[in-house]
Amino acid sequence: MPDSSPRRWRLICLASLALNFALIGLIAGVAISGRGGHRDAHWRGAPLIAALPESARAGLRDGYRRDPAAHRARFGALMEALRADPFDPAVLSALLQDQRALGATRAERAEAGLIAALTAMDQAERAAYADRLSDYLRRRGPRR
């Protein structure tokens, strides 16, 4: 088995870091990007949320307010781990696992909020929601 160089591990960790931040950014963007009216259609990648009535979207957004100090602290710890000499991939891995867990928690809350909003609707409201969702998807077209 060949011996892996520190540079190779550093590149692997940085690639993993980039992918994790992309995922966290996507989830966080979905959770907090809406601001009202049709602008909530900017919940990119989240047509199920964008098609909800404004009151339901507002309720979901309220559950996703960030703590800026905690966000800065997590980012600061990440920067320290990247600049550490010697570099410790275990520290970086733990930080990324924490970020992934935070993202998963936020995604689970969004899913639960969506289900609760749809459960609170009567059949006519759900049918109107389905129509808005269909229109949204037709307007946006295939994305991939």
- How far CA 36 is from CA of 30, 47, 81, 120, in Å, comes to 14, 15, 38, 20
Q: Which residues contact 31 (CB under 8 A, 6 or more apart)?
A: 60, 61, 64, 106, 110
* pLDDT of res. 40: 41
* pLDDT of res. 37: 43
pLDDT at 54 over 90: no
Confidence of residue 42 (pLDDT cuts 50, 70, 90): very low
* pLDDT of res. 60: 76
Six token digits for residue 129: 């929601």
